[in-house]
Amino acid sequence: MQISEGDEYAFRILFDQYRNKIFSIAWKITGVKSAAEDVVQEVFIKLWMNREKLVEVENFNAYLNTITRNHILNNLRKVAYEQTFLEDLIRQQSVNTKNASDPVLYSELQNLLHRAIQQLPPQQKKVFQLSRENGLKHTEIASKLNISQSTVKGHIVEALRSIKAFLNAHEGVISLLILLQACPLLFSLL
């Protein structure tokens, strides 16, 4: 196979031939156009990075389906883990109010989270808030907003991705806040 030897033109042909298929799979699972587009790019990057292994593939169609589904599922697991971590962090801070920095830390974490949510696109923000703040199930949100459950799920996945990116961009602030919470003496020196 020419691609396994680094032929970029052959890879472009492969991309043109299969991108709509990958997009379709990703769209069905995520329900979010931008997420599906990201999956297309990420799957093809993965294919290019591992192009030497393509020679061994007997059924490329099945191989591509497997890579695409695994990539999406891994991303969903990662987003779910990050959401759980964030919720645990905030919950832990709300329970633990033993020293003077806890209310400040909790307030600052809440402020960062609120800012992250506010930067979401309107429909995504609405879906996320109905889910996380109002506690509605995906079926209830879908019914209330007259959208499909997969669209609800996709909006939540994208919202979590955006929130994670926002928080990653503010990682230094979060680390400092956690450090201050762990070392009250430092907090008193500020």
Output the pTM of the full model: 0.48
Residue 174 lies in a domain: yes
116 and 185 fall within a common domain: yes
pLDDT at res. 17: 93
Number of separate domains in the chain: 2
Q: What is the pLDDT of residues 64-76, one digit of tens each?
A: 989 998 888 887 7
By the 10 Å C-beta count (0-12 exposed, 13-18 middle, 19+ buried), 104 is classed as middle
* Both tokens assigned to 71: 């990539």
Single residue among 39, 74, 109 that ends a domain in this structure: 74
109 and 174 fall within a common domain: yes
Residue 89 lies in a domain: no
Q: What is the pLDDT of residues 127-147, one digit of tens each?
A: 988 888 777 888 888 889 998
Q: 166: domain CATH number? A: 1.10.10.10
CA distance 130 to 14: 41
Residue 91 lies in a domain: no
For residue 170, the enclosing domain spans 96-189
> Do 148 and 31 contact (CB within 8 A), yes or no?
yes
